[in-house]
């Protein structure tokens, strides 16, 4: 086969967050495949064809990209952030595994990008300085019971938790439920970061205590990354500007001791 497929992370927003290797893969592509709003972030180039599709059709999009590559096209599948974090890389490999055997001979590369939790953490300080995890609150591809079981385990283990896909028009209640669950285990003053559209002109960053974050859950949207601090996560106040949020690398209390009395 003469075609190829690159799976590319565009980063959180502005072009300056795009890695040089991802930029080179974009420039080498004859065909770009992706969710419409992400493709709009890629400048048009002569001789390059864009194939836009709606949200929630990731595997169908991946099959289309693989089919184009099998025809000899140099295809780039684009994702926001990092393609391997709740994004298109897994969808491509799911389609590859279940698809045409000949597709497995295609050269396939994954070009990493700056995922939302890293961009949000950089804006806030260093909240991911200790152990952390990422959980998607979307129940489109897994039952809500699985989401809450994983969230409870992460809360009990005292991870800093980055919440992706926190809220949408179709499911406006999940973030509130998640933060309410967190409030049964973590202290009311635990820092919670609402980072919206980091790296874009409409970027915003709010740092709230967990008790206030529960009430503010409805203000988030799909462009928001929500991060719940651990027991050790701290704020450094600064006059006239937002505090710095950081999590020390050292741990002095066990997770069990941290959560006692709040379950």
Query: In three state form, how does the secondary structure of 139-168 look?
Result: CCCCCHHHHHHHHHHHHHCCCEEEEECCCC
Q: What is the rounded average pLDDT of the residues 72-93?
A: 96
Scan for tokens 């972030």, then name that residue.
41
82: helix, strand or coil: coil
Q: From residue 215, give the alpha-carbon distance in Å to each of 29, 155, 166, 178, 185.
A: 46, 19, 14, 12, 17
Report whether pLDDT(118) > 60.
yes
Q: Which of these, 125, 128, 105, lies nearest to 117 by C-alpha position?
A: 128
pLDDT tens digits, one per residue of 135-147: 999 998 899 999 9
Contact 162, 206 (CB under 8 A): no
Architecture in CATH for domain 117-259: 2-Layer Sandwich (3.30)
pLDDT tens digits, one per residue of 230-252: 999 999 999 999 999 999 998 87
Architecture in CATH for domain 4-114: 3-Layer(aba) Sandwich (3.40)
Report whether pLDDT(39) > 70.
yes
Task: Check residue 254 and give its pLDDT.
Answer: 65
189: helix, strand or coil: coil
Question: What are the φ and ψ backbone dihedral angles of 165, each rounded to 5 degrees?
Answer: 50, 55
User: What percent of the chain has a predicted confidence (pLDDT) above 90?
Assistant: 84
Task: Check residue 256 and give its pLDDT.
Answer: 55
Task: Check residue 1 and give its pLDDT.
Answer: 66
CB atoms within 10 A of CB 225: 28
Task: Check residue 261 and give its pLDDT.
Answer: 45
Per CATH, 4-114 and 117-259 having the same topology is answered no
Read off the tokens for 74: 């140099």
Most confident of 39-43, 44-48, 184-188: 184-188
**How far apart, in whole angstroms, are the C-alpha atoms of residue 241 and residue 223?**
23
CB atoms within 10 A of CB 156: 14
158: left (phi over 0), alpha (psi -120 to 50) or beta: left
Tell me what the pLDDT averaged over the chain comes to.
Answer: 93
Task: Check residue 171 and give its pLDDT.
Answer: 82
pLDDT tens digits, one per residue of 149-206: 999 999 999 999 999 999 888 888 999 999 999 999 999 999 999 999 998 889 999 9
**What is the 8-class DSSP label of residue 11?**
B
pLDDT tens digits, one per residue of 47-74: 999 999 988 899 999 999 999 999 999 9
Task: Check residue 148 and give its pLDDT.
Answer: 96
> Where in the chain are the domains?
4-114, 117-259
Task: Check residue 251 and give its pLDDT.
Answer: 83
Residue of higher predicted confidence among 250 and 256: 250
């Amino acid at each position: 086969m003469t075609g190829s497929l690159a799976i590319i992370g565009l980063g959180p927003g502005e072009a300056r967050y795009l890695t040089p290797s991802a930029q080179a893969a974009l420039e080498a592509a004859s065909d770009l495949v992706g969710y419409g709003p992400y493709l709009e972030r890629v400048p048009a180039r002569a001789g390059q064809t864009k194939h836009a599709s709606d949200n929630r059709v990731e595997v169908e999009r991946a099959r289309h990209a693989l089919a184009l590559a099998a025809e000899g096209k140099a295809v780039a599948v684009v994702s926001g952030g990092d393609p391997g974090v709740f994004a298109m890389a897994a969808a491509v490999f799911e389609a590859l595994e279940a698809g045409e055997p000949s597709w497995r001979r295609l050269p396939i590369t994954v070009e990493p990008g700056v995922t939302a939790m890293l961009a949000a953490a950089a804006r806030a300080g260093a909240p991911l300085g200790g152990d952390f995890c990422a959980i998607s609150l979307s129940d489109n591809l897994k039952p809500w019971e699985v989401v809450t079981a994983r969230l409870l385990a992460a809360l009990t283990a005292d991870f800093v938790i980055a919440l992706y896909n926190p809220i949408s028009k179709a499911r406006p209640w999940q973030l509130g439920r998640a933060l309410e669950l967190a409030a049964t285990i973590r202290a009311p003053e635990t820092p919670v970061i609402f980072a919206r559209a980091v790296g874009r002109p409409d970027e915003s960053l709010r740092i709230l205590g967990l008790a206030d974050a529960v009430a503010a859950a409805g203000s988030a949207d799909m462009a928001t990354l929500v991060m719940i601090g651990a027991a050790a996560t701290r704020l450094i106040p600064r006059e006239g500007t937002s505090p710095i949020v950081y999590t020390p690398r050292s741990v002095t209390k066990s997770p069990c001791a941290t959560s006692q009395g709040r379950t």
